[in-house]
């Protein structure tokens, strides 16, 4: 990548838009599903496997990504949403309530 391309990426309007950054964080398949399942009470790896019916490798990789991005934290054997993860879960809760009416 050239220096001009790097400058263009760092100043791209999408990088300055917080909603676009969050959407980028969840572009990988299953990421939002995992966040929602943790929010709904599935805190153990095996619980998430059973609920989501995904491969262990995919689940492990997505959980690591969500940890690195600051949405999920691991405490001993449980996963919990961080404040950042809770803020996304609140938005999803609004979608749930709007869709159920």
The torsion defined by the Cα of 36, 40, 42 and 48, in degrees rounded to 10, comes to -30
Could you report the per-residue pLDDT of 1-55, keeping only the tens digit for each? 455 554 455 556 667 788 888 888 888 899 999 999 999 999 999 999 999 999 9
The confidence score (pLDDT) of residue 11 equals 59
Nearest to 38, CA basis, from 48, 46, 29, 30: 48
User: In angstroms, rounded to a whole number, what is the distance separating the alpha carbons of residues 68 and 83?
Assistant: 14
Any residues with CB less than 8 A from the CB of 15 and at least 6 apart, and which?
9, 21
pTM over 0.75: yes
Any residues with CB less than 8 A from the CB of 48 and at least 6 apart, and which?
34, 37, 38, 42, 59, 63, 79
Residue 64 has pLDDT above 50, yes or no: yes
Domain total for the chain?
A: 1
Show the domain range for 93.
3-99
Q: What is the CATH number of the domain that holds 38?
A: 1.10.10.10
């Amino acid at each position: 990548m050239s220096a001009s391309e790097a400058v263009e990426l760092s100043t791209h309007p999408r990088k300055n838009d917080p909603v676009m950054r969050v959407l980028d964080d969840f572009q990988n398949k299953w990421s939002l599903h995992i966040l929602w399942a943790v929010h709904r009470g599935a805190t153990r790896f095996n619980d998430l496997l059973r609920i989501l019916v995904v491969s262990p490798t995919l689940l492990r990789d997505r959980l690591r990504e969500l940890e690195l991005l600051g949405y999920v934290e691991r405490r001993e054997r449980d996963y919990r949403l961080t404040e950042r993860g809770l803020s996304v879960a609140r938005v999803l809760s609004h979608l749930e309530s709007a869709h159920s009416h």
